Structure 1
Amino acid sequence: MRLRPCTVDALLALGQVALLALIGRGAYSLGYPPLDMRGYLLGLLVILPTLVRSRAPVAVCLVTYSTWVLYILAGYWPVVTCFGPMLCLYTVAVVRPTRTSGYLAVLLSAIWTLSGAGHDARFLAPVAAQSICLNALTWRMGYLARRSAELARRTREEHQEKARRAVAEERGRIARELHDVVAHHMAVISVQAGLAKFVFDSDAETARGALDTIAGTSTEALEEMRRMLRVLRSQEDDGVAPDAPMPGLARLEEMVDRVRAGGVPVEFRVVGTPRPVASGVELCAYRVVQEALTNVLKHARRASASVELRYHRDNIEVSVMDDGEGVIPDRVERGRGHGLIGMRERAKLYGGTISIGPRGTGGFAVRLTLPTSARAAPPGDDAIA
């Protein structure tokens, strides 16, 4: 059980009173007068301030020194009440700067040495050595306790800062994932809703197809949201794997079909031999393509686009290009928009490179290269990127 500071102070004061009562009468054998009523009263005056030493360490220390000097000048044995001044010196060394406690340590050693010299000059050297050694040890113990407390405080602050950074990073990952899930599907739904409204009276079949696309897209969006929530909950429940697969390269064609249904001609091609890729790398590539096509839907609807997935020996490359004239280049130059920032952060997370910018022949291009080796993907790459 941990004692409260006030309880510790009270116990230390009682210990000093017990010491005063037990060895006070033994002073006679050393040539000092035995404690009488005045001696006990002065001894208690030395002890009492130590009860509040934590509230005003320097002031209490000086008051204790002063009453101890009165006790010594009265001719009583200093050792009986020396624990109080030493305790106050230790407290100052714990909570105050080194220079302050150092001055008080020197002052206490001087008082102690002069008390011995005033009683018998023959004892000056041993008393001086005793006072210097004991007070230096007391000061050193307080100094080390203060350094230990500062180190513990800094360590605690560093841990808290790391925890805050981890929370901020997790919030950033969740925000990117929410942006990617919601923005793409809502862009498709918005385009299809506008199409259905436009042809509702004149072309029922086209309107029905648009509504079917809206229904399918909203269902997929809900499924991805549920999957993301399951991943987050599984991270809180000892890493239990979610039961829903993450979107990956195999679903790129489905995404392209949705964008085609939104009125943007999109060509999709795969170059090279498909092979297994780390699931986190797949998710990264999927989200970057999703964000790029979402920007095409928002800013270059009259353009045509192409998506290419290329398998190399040690990496994969995905590119999304369009031939429209949107406002995306301006956004890139200003560095705004969670989507563009998210694409760069995802590429960096998995050790890849990405280039985003306007094409020389018109339009816009996003090119992402990601390593496929297991070493390139960080541990736990099945988590939300």
Structure 2
Amino acid sequence: MLRRLLGDWRPTWLDLLLALAVGVAGLVESFGRQEQIGHPVPMAAGAVAAAAAVLLRRRSPIAMLLTLIAVGLAVREAVGTGYYAAWHFYSTLILVHTVASTVELRSYRGGVGLGCVLTAYAYLQTLQTNDIAEVLISAVFMSVAYGSGILLRRQIDQTLRLAERTTRLEVEREERARRAVAEERARIARELHDVISHKVSVMTLHAGGVRMLLDDDRERKRERDMLLTAEQAGREAVGELQLMLGVLREAGDHVPETVRPGLSRLEGLVAHVREAGPDVRLRIIGEPRPLPPGLDLSAYRVIQEALTNVLKHAGAGRADVVVDYGPDELNVQVTDDGAGGGPAPGTAHDTGGHSTGGHSTGGHDTGGHGTGGHGLIGMRERTAMHGGDLSAGPLPGGGYRVAARFPLGTATETG
């Protein structure tokens, strides 16, 4: 039955300490002042009851305050003297504070709680030893106890609102990051679709051309049938890719193969960014050579996103682009002398007139030189797709650097 009444309520350490203080102080007062009290046992029993009310103060503060008033009346009747116990006054202040801190004043329960507080104060005025000074002193202590409870409740409400807002903002930030990753992956998929479709179409055309060359050779019927099967499979693959494209690509964002960007088009990108203000310098290390189309495109996009940062957020006067063709890996690096600290994430604009299936070269804003922007998410996705890694951060002497490494021997290619 007791468990059903208390429910999930559990006393805190503060509840236990306050109840213990009231109980011990009441017992000491009851048996230490027997000459003044006359009957210490009823007074001690009242102190124990007051300690129990303080222990249960958060479970039902209004009921405990009324209980304390009833305990005070009963003890006064049993003792029969004009002595007023100190433990009763301390307990009253604790419970008044609890009522104000747990009950909203502008609610129905708040009105009832205020009425109980006034009742407790009125009970104090029925004591025979009260004078004007005692009335004013008790009014001051009751007001402070009630006012401090209201301030505590408002502080708790504000803390809860801030915690709820922080949690909501954190959830929204994680959702934006997930959405940015999904959008960037869809964008990469659209670009890879163009590469794959082109390669499969070329293979299909070659298979069809060879089959037509063997059309008059009756001894090569088996070879013609195999080439026909390969040709049909190629056409089906292209058709399925076109069907998938309808899901991935936005309306009107198809880009012809002849304008697809790659590292061979870096000169044009660098020249366009240079026209916008920063002094951009391009340096090629090693002998440029043909790269897998997907890797070539991803390396170009990493440089493009980094230059978009330089142009929009870094406030840089100079930027250096380095492309290093190593024997086993490709390294690209963009370094600037800007201060970084760009605006909050938004939408970046095109830096060079080059597009990625209808999307601007800036794609998603990088949010300045930082680690939380969508542009950096895209660069990491593109680099990781080919088994590489990307690092980005401020330089010790000032400026910012973005560096990406693409393995050439173990890169995962679908084109």
Q: Where on the TM-score scale, by shorter chain, does this alignment land: which range?
A: 0.5 to 0.7
State the identity %.
16
* Match of residue 151, structure 2, among 140, 144, 149: 144
Aligned equivalents of 1:43 and 1:271: distance in 2?
85
Q: Find the residue that maps to 2:64 and give its secondary structure.
A: helix
* Match of residue 348, structure 2, among 344, 347, 350: 350
For 1:378, give the aligned amino acid.
Answer: G
Aligned equivalents of 2:56 and 2:186: distance in 1?
58
Tell me if structure 1 keeps the 8 A contact 2:65–2:96.
yes
Aligned equivalents of 1:268 and 1:130: distance in 2?
84
Residue 125 (structure 2) aligns with: 113
* Match of residue 103, structure 1, among 115, 120, 129: 115
Q: CA deviation at 1:97?
A: 0.8
Tell me if structure 2 keeps the 8 A contact 1:347–1:368.
no
For 2:30, give the aligned amino acid.
Answer: G
Which whole-Å deviations, capped at 9, do the CAs of 1:202-254 have from their partners, x for residues lacking one?
248xx9xxx9xx9xxxxxxxxxxxxxxxxxxxxxxxxxxxxxxxxxxxxxxxx
Tell me if structure 2 keeps the 8 A contact 1:72–1:78.
no
Aligned equivalents of 1:171 and 1:16: distance in 2?
55
Tell me if structure 1 keeps the 8 A contact 2:54–2:64.
yes
* Match of residue 19, structure 1, among 15, 18, 25: 25
Aligned equivalents of 1:347 and 1:81: distance in 2?
60
Structure 2 matches for 1:3-82, cutoff 5 A?
Answer: 5-24=11-30, 33-74=37-78, 75=80, 76-82=83-89
For 2:115, give the aligned amino acid.
Answer: Y
Q: Find the residue that maps to 1:379 and give its secondary structure.
A: coil
Q: CA deviation at 1:126?
A: 2.0
Aligned equivalents of 2:117 and 2:147: distance in 1?
10
Q: CA deviation at 1:167?
A: 0.7
Aligned equivalents of 1:189 and 1:127: distance in 2?
92
Tell me if structure 1 keeps the 8 A contact 2:101–2:152.
yes
Tell me if structure 1 keeps the 8 A contact 2:22–2:50.
no
**Aligned residue pairs: how many?**
252
Residue 166 (structure 1) aligns with: 173
C-alpha spacing 1:95/1:168, structure 2 compared with 1 (3 Å): same
Aligned equivalents of 1:61 and 1:378: distance in 2?
58
Structure 2 matches for 1:191-202, cutoff 5 A?
Answer: 191-202=198-209
Q: Find the residue that maps to 2:377 and give its secondary structure.
A: coil
* Match of residue 100, structure 2, among 93, 111, 116: 93
Tell me if structure 2 keeps the 8 A contact 1:280–1:377.
no
Q: CA deviation at 1:27?
A: 5.8
- TM normalised by structure 1 equals 0.53
Residue 218 (structure 1) aligns with: none
Structure 2 matches for 1:320-331, cutoff 5 A?
Answer: none
Residue 283 (structure 1) aligns with: 305
Q: CA deviation at 1:187?
A: 3.4
For 2:72, give the aligned amino acid.
Answer: W
Aligned equivalents of 1:55 and 1:10: distance in 2?
13
Residue 131 (structure 1) aligns with: 138
Q: CA deviation at 1:134?
A: 0.7
Aligned equivalents of 2:270 and 2:91: distance in 1?
84
C-alpha spacing 1:25/1:143, structure 2 compared with 1 (3 Å): same
Aligned equivalents of 2:19 and 2:367: distance in 1?
63
Aligned equivalents of 2:184 and 2:117: distance in 1?
61
Residue 257 (structure 2) aligns with: 259
Higher helix share: 1
Aligned equivalents of 1:268 and 1:40: distance in 2?
91
Which whole-Å deviations, capped at 9, do the CAs of 1:80-126 have from their partners, x for residues lacking one?
322222212212222111252433332221111222xxx14xx3322
Q: Find the residue that maps to 2:376 and give its secondary structure.
A: coil
Tell me if structure 2 keeps the 8 A contact 1:112–1:127.
no
Aligned equivalents of 2:75 and 2:42: distance in 1?
9
Tell me if structure 2 keeps the 8 A contact 1:350–1:377.
no
- TM normalised by structure 2 equals 0.50
Q: Any stretches of 5+ residues in structure 1 without a counterpart?
A: 215-254, 287-313, 315-345, 356-364, 371-375
Residue 395 (structure 2) aligns with: none
Aligned equivalents of 1:261 and 1:126: distance in 2?
93
Q: Find the residue that maps to 1:114 and give its secondary structure.
A: coil
Aligned equivalents of 1:377 and 1:44: distance in 2?
63
Q: CA deviation at 1:270?
A: 5.1
Aligned equivalents of 1:198 and 1:369: distance in 2?
32
